Amino acid sequence: MTVKISHTPEIKTFFEEVAGLGHAEGNPRFKQIILRVLQDTARLIEDLEVSEDEFWQAVSYLNRLGGRNEAGLLAAGLGIEHFLDLLQDAKDQQAGLCGGTPRTIEGPLYVAGAPLSEGEARMDDGTDPGVVMFLQGQVFDAEGKPLAGATVDLWHANTQGTYSYFDATQSEFNLRRRIVTDAEGRYRARSIVPSGYGCDPQGPTQECLDLLGRHGQRPAHVHFFISAPGHRHLTTQINFEGDKYLWDDFAYATRDGLIGELRFVEGAAPARDRGVQGDRFAELEFDFTLQAAVAPEAEERSHRPRALQD
């Protein structure tokens, strides 16, 4: 029979001491969170009869996870980042906030400070032989009026499934741009069709997924931050219709309303008309609708740590 002591007064007092509740110094909110983590960890160890070997293997895993900077990747892979979206959806519903383009996960690969353009931009540096993609659309407010001056911050992977900054072989801010919408709320970008990607097969995230019997693949997608004065910041991404992993994304980012149709155009003449070498390119049109901001802080994106904070 398993001995359980986590609910005893002695252990309760011990964890309160560990969490600093007896000290005036420190952060009260942090103390509250740490106390709960300690209590729940102790109960998990007892309830599942976690052995000392299993516990220290978990500690070693966390060390390796941090050493590879994959904690954000694992948070997505275990569905925690998607849960945060679902929780916010539920809060919005309770508060009567509805409408607009759905949110979905940011992921761990955003880099602040991408070049800013008016109306349109070219995102690729011309070195990747991928299929040229023309991406465009409009940003609307909740009443369906075009939003001039909105900022469309977008980023995506190359044809190898890697992202600039994190992939040192790519040029600075390759496939990353910020576009300010024109008078009709339009944005236009020339880029290349991105590839999906998978977790590093030798990395700790895939190690965890292997033990869960799961793959670590993502469909091809384009990330977006959409913002405009007086409107709620939107974090979202577009996945492509027909992708093998569209509804089998290890990061659970695919949502209804966020699937774009990538249309391939064949022929030398139409390619030439668009300034494309060769005889094939792709088009994708996607519009966004923003909610009104109920408070000034709603206009800002979350303050999670990111590369090259701005």
Query: Which pLDDT tens digit goes with each residue over 159-186?
Result: 999 999 999 999 999 999 999 999 999 9
Q: 280 pairs with which residues across the strands? A: 266
Q: What is the pLDDT of residue 1?
A: 62
How far, in Å, are 102, 159, 209, 218, 255 from residue 237 at the CA level? 9, 17, 23, 12, 9
For helices 28-47 and 9-18, give the axis angle rounded to 10 degrees: 140
Q: What is the pLDDT of residue 307?
A: 87
Q: In the structure encoding, which two tokens stand for residue 188, read together?
A: 């236009």
Q: What is the pLDDT of residue 172?
A: 96
CA neighbours closer than 13 Å in the CB half-sphere of residue 128: 25
8-state DSSP, 283: E
Q: Any residues with CB less than 8 A from the CB of 15 and at least 6 apart, and which?
A: 35, 38, 39, 42
Residue bearing tokens 């590093």: 200
Q: How many other CB atoms sit within 10 Å of the CB of residue 257? A: 11
Give the chain's residues under pLDDT 70.
Answer: 1, 309-310
Contact of 300 with 231, CB cutoff 8 Å:
no
